[in-house]
A = this chain, B = another copy of it.
Amino acid sequence: MALADLQAVARNDAGIAAVLGILKQRFGDRFQTGAAIRGQHAHTTTYIPSQLPDGVAFVQSTEEVQEVVRICGDYHVPVIPFGTGTSLEGHVNAPGGGISIDLMGMNRILSVNAEDLDCTIEPGVTREDLNTHLRDTGLFFPIDPGANASLGGMASTRASGTNAVRYGTMRENVLSLTAVTADGKAVTTARRARKSSAGYDLTRLFVGSEGTLGVITSLTLKLYGIPQAISGGVCPFPSVEAACQAVIATIQMGIPVARIELVNALTMRSLNEYSKLGYPESPCLFVEFHGSESGVKEQAETFGEIVGEFGGGPFQWTNVAEERTKLWKARHDAYWAGLAMRPGCKGLSTDVCVPISRLAECINETEDDIAACGLIAPIVGHVGDGNFHVLVLMDPDDPKEIETTEAFVARLNMRAIAMEGTCTGEHGVGQGKIAFLPHELGAGVDVMRAIKHALDPHNIMNPGKVLPISAP
């Protein structure tokens, strides 16, 4: 079924016209309707075409978000929250038009509670902003999805990244949040206690709901002490299976690995070419350990012994900061190194996640599939979680190639689901994965729809995302 049929978002021209007038009067220059600004707020990072909002409100407070939502609610006009626009599944598109709420002006760090290892921030604070602010406290916020995303956006998509295996995802690291719901109320989901059994877990309900249940206007996040010492290194393996088996053994032994990233042979080649490095061009694990000086040494040595049992090695590791930085820069350059393999191409980054026991099988089948359909698509994986990304290098102007890519992504999602996995480990559903959600969760989607309808009866909160749902 076509995406538009799954979304079924009808455009409400009369309501939109009314709202545009009211918002212009209320927000003046902080409400923009020019094509360029609207285009920036609907830029998708995928093959899904941009669908522009009708206006963009640059808000500065929870109360202003409430105002925008109430005005839009009165006229049944969609609201689409917007952060850095780095999401990967068309989350910021406006399939029925409506108002984009740009939250990047809400970028204050409201409090840092060092004793409680938490902080409260506005949603437009980026992860790099936060860590810069924290620099003198000895604390840090670990979640790193690659892009310097806004923390509100990261919460909305339930983002994670390379160190989720140790620190968890946004799910585990948001203590509480405030969201403006479709009725214009500001709802705070929890208190600042580290744990609670008081009622339904509203925090987790809003985390990952991609703006479809409310607009997040503040977040209380867990912080961590910066580790005393860090060690890390790279280890080649004869096969993806061998690398995955080494990861399984490492985790079973309880080694508290902070990052453990699989980079497939094609990606290793791209890294070497891009950065003039001399890594082995076979599947590699990039690993990092956090702890005390002696602890990270012991962990690295134990890991070195484990990899040997699976035919991996040599494992070269270091606790020298500059060398580690170089190593992780290479890993983080994977996206750009990939793009450089095919000048002029666009990179489509997709993600799935499977139980780790099925990971090697899933990656191998995917590599075979890539070869069979003639795509170029390097793979990297947050292998401790069973999560991996395929970066399809495609010509965005070639409809046939887009079609091939779409079909490949569909097979990849169904393959992951068939292996007891999920169609998205960390990117979210957005528009790109709506079609797969029912395959993955069956009757669970009905429960989601019931919740969506209860909290947003007129379907104004980021409509056409996450759920295959009919307009009211």
The residues of A with any CB-CB pair to B shorter than 8 Å are 113-118, 138-139, 157-160, 164, 168-169, 171-172, 181, 185-202, 204-205, 207-209, 213, 224-228, 248, 251-254, 256, 290-292, 294-295, 298, 302, 353-357, 385-387, 416-417, 420-429, 433, 436-437, 440-448, 450-455, 466-467
Contact present for A114 and B252 (CB under 8 Å):
yes
A164 / chain B contacts, CB cutoff of 8 Å: 195
Contact present for A187 and B447 (CB under 8 Å):
yes
A171 / chain B contacts, CB cutoff of 8 Å: 195, 201, 204
- Of the candidates B139, B385, B422, B448, the one whose C-beta lies within 8 Å of that of A191 is B422
Across the interface, name the chain B residue whose C-beta is closest to A290.
B254
Contact present for B197 and A441 (CB under 8 Å):
no
Kindly provide the distance from the CB of A456 to the nearest chain B CB, expressed in whole angstroms.
10
Across the interface, name the chain B residue whose C-beta is closest to A192.
B420
Contact present for B197 and A425 (CB under 8 Å):
yes
Known contacts A116-B356, A444-B202, A454-B454; decide if A422 and B254 are in contact (CB<8 Å).
no
Kindly provide the distance from the CB of A441 to the nearest chain B CB, expressed in whole angstroms.
6
Across the interface, name the chain B residue whose C-beta is closest to A294.
B298
Contact present for B254 and A197 (CB under 8 Å):
no
Contact present for B208 and A205 (CB under 8 Å):
no
5 chain-A/chain-B pairs, Cβ below 8 angstroms: A195-B422, A197-B427, A198-B433, A225-B252, A228-B254
Alpha-carbon gap, A55 to B441, bound state (A)? 34
A424 / chain B contacts, CB cutoff of 8 Å: 196-198
Contact present for B200 and A448 (CB under 8 Å):
yes
Contact present for B205 and A425 (CB under 8 Å):
no
A188 / chain B contacts, CB cutoff of 8 Å: 441-444
